[in-house]
Amino acid sequence: MAFTATGPGSRSLAGLAWLARVGCSPIEPLAAVMGWSERVAHDHVRRLTDAGLVRRVARTRGAGSLILVTSNGAVKAGYLATRAPRAIGPTTWAYAEACAWVSAWLTKRRSTWWSERDIAEDKFWHWRATYKDRRGTNRVKHRPALGLKLVEGYGAIEVETHQRVPARLLGTMNMYDALTDNSESPITGVLFVTKDNVIADQIQRAARKAMLSPPHMKIRSLSEIIQQTSTADWGNAVTVQQPDTDPAN
């Protein structure tokens, strides 16, 4: 009698490794990264779920669920248990989904990149932005959504799924203008990934006020990134571990 394994195999665990870097994702970016059909992707996620390595978070009807790595899944993938997201709510669903798509896009392009979870653990990417409002001058901590290794240095990626408070957005733009000011700066540019044209227009206006412009600042639409990730044949390029390059050194 033939025996068919139903637990997570090597391909399921490869998908888990990518999820552990990203933290959470809809099934579509995961399937795109792994080269799986939707049916195969659901089967791998089921195996990981049954093993307690991931869990599903239901969203509104028709939006599908988000797949979150558990603390056991993080450890299985070679990380600390704290790598697993504690919780995710409706206000962050769109942002989490967008970050997962950008992560998949970078993975498929075979880029050296840092996920939101990587950046949270790496002080190199932690900066401060200053802005003024009716309460006075504010100095706040800021870190990008993702990071990217470029030929000429490092780039930050901001993922914008909602309009920002104008004063704080301008403070962020001024921060990036200072961070990319000269050859000794820690990063060489920032890419803004925007959910729609309204958000893109707000980003453009704030960038002009801060005199932040190409090549130090670029904008791409999330829909373009999703389309490229879903259809382009760049081959499987799953990044299992954190990037070898340490920007702090």
For the chain, domain boundaries: 10-88, 114-231
Instruction: Please report the pLDDT score of residue 12 as a whole number.
Output: 97
Instruction: Please report the pLDDT score of residue 234 as a whole number.
Output: 52
Residue in the block written with tokens 């993922």: 159
Between CA 234 and CA 169 the distance in angstroms is 34
The answer to whether residue 166 scores a pLDDT higher than 80 is yes
The answer to whether residue 74 scores a pLDDT higher than 90 is yes
The answer to whether residue 5 scores a pLDDT higher than 70 is no
| Parallel/antiparallel/unpaired status of strands 217-221 and 189-194 | parallel
Residue type (1 letter), 229: T
Among 67-71, 95-99, 116-120, 158-162, the range scoring the smallest mean pLDDT is 116-120
Between CA 164 and CA 186 the distance in angstroms is 25
CATH of domain 10-88: 1.10.10.10
Percent of all residues in the chain with a pLDDT value above 70, rounded to a whole number: 91
Burial class (CB in 10 A: 0-12, 13-18, 19+), 111: middle
Cβ atoms < 10 Å from Cβ of 202: 17
Between CA 24 and CA 19 the distance in angstroms is 6
SS3 219: strand
CATH of 114-231, one of 3.30.450, 3.40.1350, 3.30.465, 3.30.365: 3.40.1350
Average confidence score pLDDT of the chain = 91
The pLDDT tens digits of the residues spanning 219-241 come to: 999 999 999 999 866 555 454 45
Instruction: Please report the pLDDT score of residue 86 as a whole number.
Output: 84
Under 8 Å between Cβ of 132 and 146:
no
SS3 192: strand
The pLDDT tens digits of the residues spanning 80-134 come to: 999 999 888 999 999 999 999 999 999 999 999 999 999 999 999 999 999 998 8
Instruction: Please report the pLDDT score of residue 2 as a whole number.
Output: 44
